[in-house]
């Protein structure tokens, strides 16, 4: 009998199995493919914790997977000198609140005090709580911007940062010593709460988070003339983002009513992702009606934010994550220079797959720009290194996937922080009779016309995992000499930690090991390919730069083909 079938039978034999999951198991009884997909593996525990489709099985997100993962984190925490406290948050997804309470009960059963947000709150608020409450770890139940059928178990260290590979590996090892049904939840949530072993995170912590974000303001000018449309896409950003916009004096904030309240099914969108133009359909309709200057959209856990602003024709233009990052960086550096508080040792940090335009901007203001692997934990790690070594002052960090940060009190991407900066930047542009689209064009004229394209190919299931490995293996063994007529100058293999130039000279790639291939091309172009760490996708990043937008776009399109 195959492993998947053995596991399926074992789950079916559990007398106390959750009734909803038992019903799902019964429905797949005669479907070998469904059984295989649900049980052929355990969800992989990595630096982003766990993430997967909801349902019955070891390759799914359910209360048994949550309990097992929580027990592994508890084992790890109890073997360290870290505080025996943990902060827990959740977003608006299906069963997020249930999973958060299950995790809290398991921690409490292991002698670890669990601090739980009493309502859905953004990821950055959880990161802030971990640091503010001096916790040994943090948990956020979220699948970020994934489709509605997903949920996840994101783990944070005592620094409020997602797990580094060494900590993730230690917890993954602990997982192997636990089955899915070896019993960890000994008392009810209510009794543990009454005994003080589970505690609600006080409102004062969230108030302190909002105050800290407000302190990030670049200027003190009035924003009362700015008109904004905001959509939380049914998620946790609704109250904190609106609170921030109100606090900084924006009187004209119009919220997309159809997407205002939590909805775990995200019924108005295909995916609740600000990277997806379709997610802004209702917001654009409202913006046209009210004549808004700017549109904001945050994903369900409010760590990402997308925006749309008016272009030369008066139409709303959806900016990419790279464009938002560069506009915010430019605004921050211009503002800090004018205020006289731009640090001489200032540093900007971005992911290796994000635009090199940011480097040009940073260096023009005398700052250095560092690349990291994809994943905001690596940017957070650089912040920590700067503070420990005292060699640089962190100014701004971003990823092309719509994640931004200008603070050090949060160690993850922060949609609340970014919303404040975007609003200020939009108001700053408006005082000059411009929009953020105009500012973007000024940046291009000054630094070059950079065009970026991300292509994602979904490869679900067991066969998809094999296919992704085959693609990466083939590219490593037979790297191309040129792409779309552009010569490959060097290949960076971050898994092997090598950079091999066209003459065959090999030097270190210079970043931690990761399944990423990066092709340096002539004319400042580059192509990068990597499997996603959170979705069944392989991603292709194509970046070009030319003296005018037409040539850069043409070259980019040729490389994508």
Helix axes 357-364, 436-447, angle to 10 degrees: 80
28: phi > 0 → left, psi -120 to 50 → alpha, else beta; which? alpha
Give a three-class secondary structure readout of 356-388. CHHHHHHHHCCCEEEEECCCHHHHHHHHHHHHH
Residue with tokens 């198991």: 25
Nearest to 152 by CA among 95, 68, 190, 197: 95
Q: Which residue has the tokens 């996708």?
A: 537
CA distance 328 to 218: 11
Query: Regarding beta strands 85-90 and 113-116, do their DSSP bridges make them parallel or antiparallel, or are they unpaired?
Result: parallel
Query: Please, where are the H alpha helices in 176-310?
Result: 189-194, 203-214, 238-247, 281-290
Classify 518 as helix, strand or coil: strand
Bridging pattern class, strands 526-531 and 537-546: antiparallel
Annotated catalytic residue 144 = yes
By the 10 Å C-beta count (0-12 exposed, 13-18 middle, 19+ buried), 384 is classed as middle
The CA distance from 292 to 560, in Å, is: 34
Distances (CA, A) of 278 to 269, 307, 421, 435: 7, 13, 24, 22
Q: Which is nearest to 113 in space by CA: 78, 152, 81? A: 78
Give the distance between the most distant pair of CA atoms in the chain: 71
How far apart are the C-alpha atoms of 531 and 516, rounded to whole Å? 8
Cβ-contact 378, 280 below 8 angstroms: no
Q: Classify residue 130 by its DSSP letter.
A: H
The span from the CA of 156 to the CA of 162, in Å, is 4
CB atoms within 10 A of CB 8: 24
* Contact between 454 and 355 (Cβ < 8 Å): no
Helix axes 123-132, 203-214, angle to 10 degrees: 110
Q: Are 58 and 38 in contact (CB under 8 A)?
A: yes
Give the number of C-alpha atoms closer than 13 A to the C-alpha of residue 557, restricted to the C-beta side: 6
Separation CA 89–CA 101 (nearest Å) = 10
Query: Whole-angstrom Cα distance, residue 86 to residue 295?
Result: 36
Q: How far, in Å, CA of 533 to CA of 512, rounded?
A: 15
SS3 556: helix
- CA-based radius of gyration for the chain: 24
Annotated active-site residue in 92, 96, 127, 144: 144
First-to-last C-alpha distance (Å) of the chain: 44
Instruction: Report the catalytic residues.
Output: 144
């Amino acid at each position: 009998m195959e492993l998947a079938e053995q596991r399926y039978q074992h789950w079916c034999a559990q007398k106390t199995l959750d009734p909803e999951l038992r019903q799902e198991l019964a429905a797949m009884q005669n479907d070998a493919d469904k059984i295989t997909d649900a049980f052929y593996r355990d969800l992989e525990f990595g630096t982003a914790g766990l993430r997967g489709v909801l349902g019955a099985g070891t390759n799914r997100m359910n209360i048994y997977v949550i309990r097992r993962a929580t027990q592994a984190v508890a084992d790890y925490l109890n073997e360290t000198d870290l505080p025996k406290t943990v902060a827990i948050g959740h977003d608006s997804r299906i069963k997020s609140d249930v999973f958060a309470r299950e995790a809290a009960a398991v921690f409490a059963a292991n002698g670890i005090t669990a601090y739980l947000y009493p309502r859905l709150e953004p990821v950055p608020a959880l990161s802030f709580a971990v640091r503010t409450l001096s916790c040994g770890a943090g948990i956020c139940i979220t699948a970020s911007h994934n489709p509605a059928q997903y949920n996840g178990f994101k783990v944070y260290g005592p620094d409020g940062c997602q797990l580094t590979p060494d900590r993730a590996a230690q917890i993954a090892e602990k997982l192997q010593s636990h089955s899915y049904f070896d019993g960890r939840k000994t008392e009810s949530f209510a009794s543990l709460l009454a005994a003080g072993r589970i505690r609600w995170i006080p409102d004062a912590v969230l108030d302190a988070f909002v105050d800290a974000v407000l302190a990030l303001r670049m200027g003190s000018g009035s924003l009362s003339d700015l008109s904004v449309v905001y959509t939380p896409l049914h998620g946790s950003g609704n109250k904190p983002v609106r609170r921030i916009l109100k606090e900084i004096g924006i009187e004209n904030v119009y919220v997309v009513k159809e997407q205002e309240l939590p909805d775990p099914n995200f019924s108005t969108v295909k995916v609740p992702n600000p990277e997806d133009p379709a997610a802004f359909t209702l917001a654009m309709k409202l913006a046209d009606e009210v004549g808004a200057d700017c549109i904001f959209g945050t994903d369900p856990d409010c760590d990402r934010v997308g925006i749309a602003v008016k272009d030369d024709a008066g139409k709303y233009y959806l900016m990419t994550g790279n464009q938002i990052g560069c506009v915010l960086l430019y605004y921050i550096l211009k503002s800090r220079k004018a205020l006289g508080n731009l640090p001489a040792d200032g540093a900007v940090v971005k992911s290796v797959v994000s635009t090199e335009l940011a480097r040009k901007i940073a260096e023009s203001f005398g700052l250095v720009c560092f690349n990291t692997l994809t994943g905001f934990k690596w940017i957070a790690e650089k912040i920590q290194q700067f503070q420990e070594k005292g060699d640089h002052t962190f100014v701004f960090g971003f990823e092309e996937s719509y994640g931004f940060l200008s603070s050090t009190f949060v160690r993850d991407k922060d949609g609340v922080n970014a919303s404040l900066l975007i609003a200020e930047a939009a108001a700053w542009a408006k005082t000059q009779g411009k929009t953020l689209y105009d500012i973007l064009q000024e940046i291009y004229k000054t630094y070059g016309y950079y065009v970026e394209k991300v292509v994602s190919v979904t490869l679900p299931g067991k066969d998809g995992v094999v296919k992704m490995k085959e693609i990466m293996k083939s590219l490593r063994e037979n790297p191309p000499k040129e792409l779309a007529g552009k010569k490959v100058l060097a290949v960076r293999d971050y898994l092997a930690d090598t950079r091999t130039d066209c003459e065959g000279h090999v030097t270190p790639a210079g970043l931690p090991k990761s399944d990423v291939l990066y092709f340096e091309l002539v004319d400042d172009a580059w192509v990068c390919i990597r499997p996603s760490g959170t979705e069944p996708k392989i991603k292709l990043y194509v970046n070009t730069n030319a003296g005018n937008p037409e040539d850069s776009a043409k070259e980019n399109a040729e490389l994508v083909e």
